[in-house]
Amino acid sequence: MEAVIPMDHIPVLLGEVSEYLKPEPNNLLIDGTVGLGGHAQALLPRVLPGGRLLGIDKDADNLEIARQRLSRFGESVVLVRDSYANIKTHAHAHQFHSVDSILLDLGFSSVHVDDPERGFSFRQDGPLDMRYDRSQEITAEMVVNEWSLEELARIFRQYGEEKKARQIAEAIVSARAQTPFSSTTQLAAMIAQTQRQRGRIHPATKIFQALRIAVNDELGELERVLPDCVDLLQVGGRLAIISFHSLEDRIIKQFFKSHSVLKVVSKRPITASQEEVKKNPRARSAKLRVAEKI
């Protein structure tokens, strides 16, 4: 069945990505999180004629949407379903050596949050899934029902930056002994019962972030891909990364600063204009950092 292409998909910080990556004809471009193909669709015409784009994504459904959106570019596009952590293998397999630009637009896409079946959001009821790659074994349900109290407390503290991490982990461990968790709203409601809401943020928000990061090993994969991106770039080539929370941004900032062959192009993180945020509220937390290989 043909995937439905979301026409209203707005790629985050598109103008800024384009400005900093400066794509030109004959360029080799890797989009490690090609997603719905939004950034790729805008960048591809600028590398033609002669250029090519390698698009990688863990999510088969998103990749199918990207395939349709980018079909008019024919053989200038290669799409691969895998983690960007394996970027080097795929780059070499498809003759992407001495690459001009690499883009990573981290995290989830609108499709993930809007589809209750994917289990990323507690706004609608769905299974506790949260996998980008649905062929992966570990799900949020397994984490919530099987991980130890210590492991849960650790991910809530480290990945959710949740002050009540241990208290919430204890509540989960005690509740799951009676009835294992199977749905997003069941988990969110239990957390809401034990934690008072402070401000407008639902008390389950940080816990859901922590679970998503743990299920997809988001920080581990980011740490693994960064040195490989540097190896793949040619001198003068640029790496642009859009992140959505401080844990990712810290890893990127420190890596850019500490790597001897990188020059930081964006001294401060580039953020979305008020106009963009009005049109696309998710852009509010986006931070773009760009480095050049020297």
Nearer to ligand SAM, 27 or 62 (CB): 62
Which residues, other chains included, contact 101 with Cβ-Cβ below 8 Å and sequence gap of 6+? 21, 22, 23, 27, 28, 29, 30, 43, 237, 238, 239, 240
> Residues 16, 51, 54, 59: which binds ligand SAM (CB under 6 A)?
59
Minimum separation from the CB atom of position 248 to ligand SAM (A): 11
For the chain, what percentages of helix, strand and coil (3-state, to nearest 5) are there? 50, 15, 35
Distance separating alpha carbons of residues 36 and 57, to the nearest angstrom? 9
> Residues 51, 52, 80, 84: which binds ligand SAM (CB under 6 A)?
84
Does 248 bind ligand SAM (CB under 6 A)? Our answer is no
Nearer to ligand SAM, 64 or 105 (CB): 105
Does 159 bind ligand SAM (CB under 6 A)? Our answer is no
Backbone dihedral region for residue 37 (phi beyond 0: left; psi -120 to 50: alpha; all else: beta):
left
List the interface residues with ligand SAM, window 93-112 (CB under 6 A).
105, 107, 109
How far is Cα of residue 89 from the mean position of the Cα atoms in its chain? 20
> Residues 83, 139, 184, 195: which binds ligand SAM (CB under 6 A)?
83
Distance separating alpha carbons of residues 151 and 52, to the nearest angstrom? 43
Q: What are the residues facing 238 on neighbouring strands?
A: 101, 292
Minimum separation from the CB atom of position 105 to ligand SAM (A): 4
Nearer to ligand SAM, 57 or 153 (CB): 57
Binding window for ligand SAM (CB under 6 A); candidates: 52-60, 89-97, 141-149, 157-165: 52-60
Nearer to ligand SAM, 106 or 204 (CB): 106
Does 132 bind ligand SAM (CB under 6 A)? Our answer is yes
Binding pattern to ligand SAM, positions 176-215, x when CB under 6 A? ----------------------------------------
- State the amino acid at position 83 in one-letter form: S
Does 247 bind ligand SAM (CB under 6 A)? Our answer is no
Residue count of the chain: 294
Sheet holding 52-57, edge to edge: 77-81, 52-57, 28-31, 99-105, 233-243, 287-293, 262-264
Looking up tokens 């809007």 gives 114
Size, binding site for ligand SAM by CB under 6 A: 22
Distance separating alpha carbons of residues 30 and 150, to the nearest angstrom? 39
List the interface residues with ligand SAM, window 17-36 (CB under 6 A).
33, 35-36
The answer to whether 90 and 80 are in contact (CB under 8 A) is yes
Rounded to the nearest 10°, the torsion over CA 8, 14, 15, 18 is -140
Minimum separation from the CB atom of position 199 to ligand SAM (A): 26
Residues near ligand SAM (CB under 6 A): 9, 11, 33, 35-39, 56-59, 62, 83-85, 105, 107, 109, 132, 216, 221
